[in-house]
């Protein structure tokens, strides 16, 4: 293992991501976070078949500022939202999340973001929730094997659709997920969102409601693509989104739910439903960020605030919660599997 670590570290430092990947492939082993003061990249030892789908690329790179020798650091898994339901292709939220990722890495957490490039610029394809959950499940098991990662403190942070998938995996494999954050995630079935009078005109609502009624009645196969060919597995999405409050209530892990008051896709009823589901759980809560839109930018900018900047009120909420559930008093490898305290934080 020492020889493999040196080869991957050297490749990461000297030759970049491609060289590190080739070194890892040549050894057939597990990646290690590189050495040096800047953020380095390790590659998940995942079967290439998971990332080979042209319709859903799977990013294997885990980025981190390497921890001190014989230390391990928590892993934060960032799960991007799916294609925007309004059909725009600008992917503004993905670029806003980039800013949050930089903050998390600067705080010396490791970050894996499997679906950063999951949707091509010209695509509004929605993928089946079970397939996404299975892909994430396999990736989490691989990420826990990376040398330097604290496998007992893996935190999922899901945005919109990503929050739904994160919740599915946290409930199915709780041993893999230490804590969970859902940002701008619906607490209602997706058909209620798509037919919300505050967002849809009456003509569109009249057209969509019979389609969703047929879906619920089983008139279409769940794999059949409908609604202008933009999505499949609609009935699955209707089911898993409708179940979100109940799924959150059943979880034992710490949970943070966040929603912006300027989110045009969700009503404030969604975050209140999550607040009730979370209850008095330790190291958990539901926060409302004043003025934040679904893409994480502010609707009304502060003085000198960039139009492309992530909301300055959201970042402290996210970072303070991370510091609470996975504080960066970096444990040694001998402590990486120590049990959590009763308040949901690391001992």
Reported as a single tens digit per residue, the pLDDT across 38-72 is: 788 888 765 544 544 445 667 888 999 888 877 88
In degrees and rounded to multiples of 5, residue 288 shows phi and psi of -110, 125
Answer yes or no: is 265 within a domain. Answer: yes
Mean pLDDT estimate for the chain: 78
Give the pLDDT mean for 66-89: 78
pLDDT band at 265 (very low <50, low <70, confident <90, very high): confident
CA distances 273 to 31, 149, 231, 279, Å, are 41, 34, 27, 10
pLDDT band at 190 (very low <50, low <70, confident <90, very high): confident
Answer yes or no: is 14 within a domain. Answer: no
Domain CATH for 185: 3.40.50.1820
Answer yes or no: is 2 within a domain. Answer: no
Question: What pTM was computed for the model?
Answer: 0.80
DSSP 286-300: EEEETTB-TTSSBSS
pLDDT of residue 89 exceeding 70, the answer is no
Report how many domains make up the chain. Answer: 1
Q: Please tell me the predicted confidence (pLDDT) of residue 155.
A: 98
Q: What percent of the chain has pLDDT over 70?
A: 68
Do the Cβ atoms of 244 and 187 come closer than 8 Å? yes
Closest CA to 165 of 129, 118, 127, 117: 129
Answer yes or no: is 33 within a domain. Answer: no
DSSP 82-141: -S-TT-----HHHHHHHHHHHHHHHTT-EEE-TTTT-S-TT--PBPPHHHHHHHHHHHHH
pLDDT band at 4 (very low <50, low <70, confident <90, very high): very low
pLDDT of residue 170 exceeding 80, the answer is yes
Q: Determine the 3-state secondary structure of 317 from DSSP.
A: helix
Expressed as residue numbers, the domain containing 132 is 39-330
CB atoms within 10 A of CB 286: 21
Answer yes or no: is 335 within a domain. Answer: no
DSSP 153-205: EEEEEEETHHHHHHHHHHHH-GGG-SEEEEES--SS-HHHHHT-TTTS-HHHH
Lowest mean pLDDT among 6-15, 57-66, 135-144, 176-185: 6-15
Closest CA to 38 of 99, 102, 98: 102
Higher pLDDT, 123 or 103: 103
Rounded Cα–Cα distance for residues 264 and 296 (Å) = 12
pLDDT of residue 13 exceeding 50, the answer is no
CB atoms within 10 A of CB 334: 9
Rounded Cα–Cα distance for residues 84 and 329 (Å) = 38
Higher pLDDT, 219 or 72: 72
Do the Cβ atoms of 69 and 32 come closer than 8 Å? no
Do the Cβ atoms of 73 and 110 come closer than 8 Å? yes
pLDDT of residue 101 exceeding 80, the answer is yes
Rounded Cα–Cα distance for residues 178 and 252 (Å) = 9
Answer yes or no: is 12 within a domain. Answer: no
Answer yes or no: is 323 within a domain. Answer: yes
Lowest mean pLDDT among 1-15, 269-283, 321-335: 1-15
Q: Please tell me the predicted confidence (pLDDT) of residue 284.
A: 98
Closest CA to 87 of 55, 139, 125, 134: 125
Answer yes or no: is 240 within a domain. Answer: yes
């Amino acid at each position: 293992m020492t020889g493999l670590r040196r080869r991957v570290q050297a490749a990461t430092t000297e030759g970049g991501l491609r060289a590190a990947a080739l070194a890892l492939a040549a050894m057939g082993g597990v990646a290690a976070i590189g050495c040096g003061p800047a953020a380095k990249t390790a590659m998940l030892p995942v079967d290439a078949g998971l990332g080979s789908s042209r319709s859903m690329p799977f990013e294997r790179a885990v980025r981190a500022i390497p921890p001190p020798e014989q230390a391990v650091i928590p892993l934060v898994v960032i799960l991007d939202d799916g294609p925007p339901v309004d059909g725009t292709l600008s992917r503004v939220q993905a670029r806003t999340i980039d800013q949050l990722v930089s903050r998390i890495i600067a705080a010396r957490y490791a970050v894996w973001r499997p679906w950063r490039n999951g949707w091509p610029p010209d695509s509004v394809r929605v993928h089946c929730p079970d397939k996404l959950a299975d892909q994430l499940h396999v990736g989490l098991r691989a990420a826990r094997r990376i040398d330097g990662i604290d496998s007992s403190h893996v935190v999922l942070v899901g945005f919109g659709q990503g929050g739904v998938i994160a919740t599915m995996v946290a409930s199915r494999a709780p041993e893999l997920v230490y804590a969970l954050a859902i940002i701008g995630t619906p607490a209602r079935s997706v058909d209620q969102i798509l037919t919300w009078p505050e967002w849809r005109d009456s003509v569109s609502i009249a057209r969509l409601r019979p389609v969703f009624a047929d879906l619920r009645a089983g008139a279409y196969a769940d794999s059949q693509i409908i609604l202008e060919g933009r999505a499949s597995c609609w009935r699955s999405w209707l089911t898993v989104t409708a179940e979100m409050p109940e799924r959150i209530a059943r979880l034992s892990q710490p949970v943070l739910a966040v929603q912006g008051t300027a989110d045009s896709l969700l009503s404030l009823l969604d975050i209140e439903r999550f607040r009730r589901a979370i209850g008095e759980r330790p190291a958990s809560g539901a926060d409302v960020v004043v003025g934040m839109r679904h893409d994480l930018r502010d609707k009304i900018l502060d003085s000198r605030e960039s139009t492309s900047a992530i909301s300055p009120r959201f970042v402290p909420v996210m970072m303070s919660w991370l510091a609470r559930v996975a504080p960066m008093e970096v444990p040694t490898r001998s402590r990486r599997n120590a049990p959590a305290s009763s308040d949901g934080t690391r001992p």
